Amino acid sequence: MKAKPMSLKPSPMAMVPFISVDNMMKLVNRVGVADMIAGIAAEIEADFKRWPEFDKTPRVPAHSDEGVIELMPTSDGVTYGFKYVNGHPANMARGYQTVTAFGLLARVDTGYPIMLSEMTVLTALRTAATSVVAAKYLAPQGAKTMALIGNGAQCEFQSLAFHKVLGIDTVQLYDIDPAATAKAAKNLADTGLTVVPCTSAQAAVTGADIITTCTADKQYATILTDNMVGAGQHINAIGGDCPGKTELHRDILLRSDIFVEYPPQTRIEGEIQQLDPDHPVTELWTVITGQNQGRRDSRQITLFDSVGFATEDFSALRYVHGLLQDHGTFEDLDMIADPDDPRDLFGMVQRAKGA
């Protein structure tokens, strides 16, 4: 069933609701980080169930030696959305965020924007939400322990997502920078999770039901070697997300059943860029709709090769849009020219000079 057009109560000056970083943080803290991730996850899962309704295209990248800037557009025929996002691993050494983003929603019938939002914080929430949606169908039944390799900006969001939605009670942390692990352990101290800092990736994955890799360096890396992955584990690979950036040894891929968001994008950016172009993968939406099977047995190795796709950002933006009336965490942004006579834009400019 098609979604209905989205709108807030229109203001006299055709203002557009804008969620700043400050307002996004207020919203997240009012709702609660874990609850907000769970809400976004429900929206993402619902949108995967209506996957054929969406316009789909690989994100539009501008690559450089320093990183990448990308646009991620999609539409369900009623609402249009896009995200602008960058990925610059060297930013961390400069004291900047590795990833920044903003996004927009618009009505398809008029083309008018209905919301502009920061998406640096929101992307962290939706990435964690997407991970738990996939793990719901792919992780071993009754999973309780997750290894997190790469304890940077995404680590705590992933931990809280899996704790809230899937009942993970223990996270085993490892990062090549001990300060990152200490930071994550401190932030997770009062969450109800058992937090185990580890001194190696091997120690982190030992005994884990789920392995999440979320490192930042833009390089062909081997965060996991083949001997580190055992039967029955689920791998949530979210760090390899652009050409020339991977985290897993190729042999792991050959042993795993691989699940992806959108193959034309993942074959360029994901772990499977290491494989032949026709290597079989399963689209996650077909598992969620029951057209294909996810986890079949207790010994199967499942791999979610996640690079992030536009529909997930669309889902997150729609979820936030639905909260605005109740929470009021936005300000009006004057970004639509609104002359009395739509044909007289010049006259509007001239009258403004007189005013």
Which amino acid, one-letter code, is at 101?
A
Tell the residue number behind the tokens 């990248």, with chain if given: 61
Among 75, 74, 99, CA closest to 85: 99
Q: What are the φ and ψ backbone dihedral angles of 289, each rounded to 5 degrees?
A: -90, 0
Distance CA 300, CA 230 (A): 9
Starting at the earlier edge strand, list the strands of the sheet with 79-87. Answer: 60-63, 68-75, 79-87, 101-107, 113-118, 16-19, 331-333
Q: What is the DSSP letter of 245?
A: B
Q: Quick check: 166 and 128 in contact, CB under 8 A?
A: no
Whether 251 is catalytic = no
Quick check: helix, strand or coil at residue 11? coil
Q: Quick check: 171 and 193 in contact, CB under 8 A?
A: yes
Distance CA 159, CA 190 (A): 12
Which amino acid, one-letter code, is at 69?
I
Distance CA 83, CA 117 (A): 9
Contacts of 182 (CB under 8 A, 6+ apart): 197
Distance CA 100, CA 36 (A): 20
- Of the listed 241, 278, 313, 332, which one is catalytic? 241
Which amino acid, one-letter code, is at 121?
V
Question: DSSP H helical segments within 57-108, as ranges?
Answer: 91-94
Tokens of 90: 């060297």
Query: How far is the first Cα of the chain from the last one, in angstroms, to the nearest whole number?
Result: 48
Q: What is the DSSP letter of 2?
A: P
Positions annotated as catalytic residues are 241
